[in-house]
Amino acid sequence: MTKKIKVKTPLVEMDGDEMTRIIWKMIKDKLILKNLDIELKYFDLGVKHRDDTDDKVTVDAAEAIKKYGVGVKCATITPDADRITEYKLKKAWPSPNGTIRSLLDGTVFRKPIMTNNILPAVRSWRKPIVIGRHAYGDVYKSQEILVEGPGKAELVFTGENGKTIRKEIHNFKGGGIVMGMHNTDKSIRSFAQACINYALSEKMDLWFGAKDTISKIYHARFKDIFGEEIAKHKDELAKAGVNYRYLLIDDAVAQIMKHEGGLLWACKNYDGDVFSDMLASGYGSLGMMTSVLVSPDGKFEYEAAHGTVRRHYYEHLKGNATSTNSVASIFAWAGGIKKRGALDGTQAVVDFANMLKKSVIDCIESGIVTKDLTNLVTPATKKYETTEGFIDQVALRVEKAMNM
């Protein structure tokens, strides 16, 4: 029997929903607990348990990450009207990702998982393009009003000194909609600092895009604060060979399609949400994208960048075999374990995490894939593994490496 590797400090584990919850347990049982002596601080972020606890469990999970420093998270449901009915929920609870990001004041970095036999759809992309997504405010913390008839919508700010600033948004002649968004200098500055630190650590160029030509206060504030932080690190960036560019967001999108990669693209919250999925698809699959939330004080939360794979879950409930890509979920565990080992100074734990990632890549490069990758690998194949079969193939490689 293989001797388990001891992990010194507990790891925060956040369970999720639907098919990814099924995959999550397989990964934990077959790849993690079988090989590591690790204490997991478990939080069930499944939508029913969030509903039962009035979402307190999400806050508790974020506080645990603050305490222990590293967490791993399964994909979760953000309920809409249909999900409220389906799961008999009290209300449409907010995105747990958004709640955790807000409580940690974190920035999300998403990076494609590249293999030699999956070529990006964009011919020029030869290196990973990392998305740095601002993880606070904007549409994710907005307030909305459904306007049912004529009237005037205003934006009002009342300062502590009693001074009021008032701007008319629109004078409605009939029905419509209104949204109010906000951000804070503190959060924007933390975002800029996190992106600069990431670019320095990876020695990759940093881009930031917004639309300050149209949004001359809101977007311009992002541009100005980014510029201030870049100026503070000018010498450090130059020494590391890291170049910074500010671009209008539409120009950034156009140029990214012709770039070779190897850069960090810092995006506002909504832009990062959209473009991370675009990049994931362009590099191969949403199932081949890592995601890590990094707080300004060095707390880390690793997760898959995709959702709960609802359609496959319904097939699973019928007793039908599925072929669901588990790569991003395995990499989430590996990323969290590697960071845990690095913070604890336990090289054996770091080595295990690297070996786990290598085992996954080796499977794919040898033609062992789930159904979603069959037409993406070169050469294309009609053969594919089931959900559990792929994880078993990874486990065989891990077991072999552990016994060497």
CATH number of the domain at 251, please. Answer: 3.90.190
Quickly state the pLDDT bin for 1 (edges 50, 70, 90).
low
Residue 129 shares a structural domain with residue 239: yes
pTM of the full predicted structure? Answer: 0.85
Residue 94 shares a structural domain with residue 240: no
Residue 314 shares a structural domain with residue 214: no
CATH code for position 401: 3.40.718.10
Residue 124 shares a structural domain with residue 243: yes
Residue whose token pair is 């999108």: 253
Residue 159 shares a structural domain with residue 248: no
98 vs 335, residue with greater confidence: 335
Quickly state the pLDDT bin for 135 (edges 50, 70, 90).
confident
- The pLDDT of residue 19: 97
Q: In a 3-state reduction of DSSP, which class is residue 338?
A: helix
Q: Which of 262, 283, 304 is the last residue of a domain?
A: 283
Residue 344 shares a structural domain with residue 275: no
Residue 88 shares a structural domain with residue 123: no
CB atoms within 10 A of CB 302: 25
Residue 107 shares a structural domain with residue 157: no
In tens, the pLDDT along 147-198 reads 999 999 999 999 999 999 999 999 999 999 999 999 999 999 999 999 998 8
- The pLDDT of residue 276: 86
Q: Beta strand pairing status for 151-158 and 164-172?
A: antiparallel
- The pLDDT of residue 281: 85
- The pLDDT of residue 253: 96
Which residues 6+ apart lie within 8 Å of 122 measured at CB? 257, 282
- The pLDDT of residue 389: 97
In tens, the pLDDT along 233-280 reads 999 999 999 999 999 999 999 999 999 999 999 999 999 989 988 998
The one-letter amino acid at 71? G
- Lookup: tokens for 78: 């953000």
Residue 9 shares a structural domain with residue 63: yes
- The pLDDT of residue 378: 92
**Rounded Cα gap, residues 147 and 398, in angstroms:** 58
Domain extent for 374: 1-114+285-404
**Rounded Cα gap, residues 362 and 396, in angstroms:** 11
Strands (E), 46-204: 70-73, 107-112, 129-134, 143-147, 151-158, 164-172, 176-180
- Residue (of 24, 114, 32, 112) closest to 361 by Cα position: 114
Burial 152-190 (b: 16+ CB within 10 A, else e): ebeeeeeeeeeeeeeeeeeebeeeeeeeeeebeeebbeb
Strands (E), 107-260: 107-112, 129-134, 143-147, 151-158, 164-172, 176-180, 205-210, 244-248
Q: Which of 283, 309, 344 is the last residue of a domain?
A: 283
Residue 198 shares a structural domain with residue 130: yes
Q: In a 3-state reduction of DSSP, which class is residue 195?
A: helix
**Rounded Cα gap, residues 58 and 42, in angstroms:** 11
Across residues 335-364, what is the average pLDDT?
97
Q: Which of 264, 283, 302 is the last residue of a domain?
A: 283
Quickly state the pLDDT bin for 403 (edges 50, 70, 90).
confident
Q: How many structural domains compose the chain?
A: 3
Average pLDDT of the chain to the nearest whole number: 94
Residue 292 shares a structural domain with residue 382: yes
In DSSP terms, 279 is beta-bridged to none
Residue 7 shares a structural domain with residue 98: yes
Across residues 67-76, what is the average pLDDT?
97
Which residues 6+ apart lie within 8 Å of 278 measured at CB? none
User: How open is the CA angle 7-8-10, to the nearest 5 degrees?
Assistant: 85
Across residues 72-77, what is the average pLDDT?
97
Q: In a 3-state reduction of DSSP, which class is residue 80?
A: coil
Percent of the chain with pLDDT over 70: 100
- The pLDDT of residue 295: 87
